[in-house]
Amino acid sequence: MTTTLSPPRVVPEATTRVRQSLAERVAPYAYIAPFFVLFAIFGLVPLLFTFYVALFDWNPIGEHVFIGFDNFTRLFGDARFWNAAWNTISIWLLSTVPQLLVALVLAHLLNHARLRLAVFFRMSMLVPYITSVAATTIVFAQLFDRDYGLLNWLLGFVGVGPIDFLQSVWGSHTMIAVMVTWRWFGYTTLLYLASLQAVPRTIYEAAAVDGAGAWKQFRHISVPSLRPVIVFTIVTSTIGGLQIFTEPLLVSNAAPLTCGPVRQCQTLTLFLYEQGFGQFQFGYGAAIGVALFVLIIAVATLNYVLSTRIRPERG
């Protein structure tokens, strides 16, 4: 294929144009095809198959009995499912809200014109993000440990003590939320920072000349210009938050699949894993997967609707 700007004169111009525009029309689809082919094989087919399995009492090494929607009926009457749903939402709120607020403030500070070693500080934000989740979890589990934890050791000095974080609902949720926040705040900060860098520095300078302090600059320049990316991070953290898995799995090594004796920090994905791969009720596990899928679609739609309603008012 040549990309000559002047086609050979012997060929009628019209024919060449038709041929080129056909190629032009096909080309984009060819370029994006690999993703959709891969998605169909590794995403769509398994997804549809999950819906199918959810209709069975499916023993992985035995019989597959068709039971219709019984798995779903059972699921909605299962207190463990609602407990897991509540835990997931609670951990998500406890981790997302502080994470986004911290990231907002940090991004504003890192964007400051007179910050020395700016690149060093900006890059160091990524360190928690690139650390392995397992490593992070082990370190935090030790910090929060009842008997030998640093946190309880420090609390001992002020006469508080020892708190068994893992055994209580709020304690375990907080502990996991701290880990999630720790891992993601740097990533979010850099997203905000990238967006802030697009804001012309002259606006800040003009505001400073007009007598606006750091807080006013933050409120009236940084936050409004970040609105689209804030919406984006809320959506992504919602999706990520509904799928929290590794942290609750690893904090409780005595009863990992339930995250504690009374499932105090068992999330939806962990419940799915427990039923599917712990108890080998593949059909029931698949039903949980379907419920989770529907939930994520619902929340994502809600987010979309909200984010199109709340448009940044510039001016």
Positions that interact with another protein (CB under 8 A)? 39, 42-43, 45-47, 49-50, 53, 58-62, 74, 78-80, 145-148, 164, 167-168, 235-236, 239-240, 243, 245, 253-255, 258, 261-262, 269, 272-273, 276-280, 282, 285-286, 289, 292-293, 296, 300
DSSP state of 64: E
Alpha carbon distance 9, 17 (integer Å): 13
* Closest CB to another protein among residues 102, 235: 235
Q: How far is the CB of 50 from another protein (least distance, A)?
A: 4
* Closest CB to another protein among residues 145, 227: 145
Query: Rounded to the nearest 5°, which phi and psi values hold at 57?
Result: -90, 100
Q: How far is the CB of 138 from another protein (least distance, A)?
A: 10
Dmax (CA) for the chain in angstroms is: 95
Alpha carbon distance 233, 65 (integer Å): 42
Q: How far is the CB of 61 from another protein (least distance, A)?
A: 5
* Closest CB to another protein among residues 212, 235: 235
Q: How far is the CB of 44 from another protein (least distance, A)?
A: 9
Instruction: With CA atoms as reference, report the closest residue to 192 among 103, 119, 122.
Output: 103
CA distances from 107 to 121, 204, 214 (A): 11, 15, 13
Q: What is the secondary structure of 274-295 as a DSSP string?
A: IIIIIS--HHHHHHHHHHHHHH
Q: Both tokens of residue 155?
A: 């609390």
Q: How far is the CB of 289 from another protein (least distance, A)?
A: 5
* Closest CB to another protein among residues 146, 227: 146
* Closest CB to another protein among residues 111, 281: 281
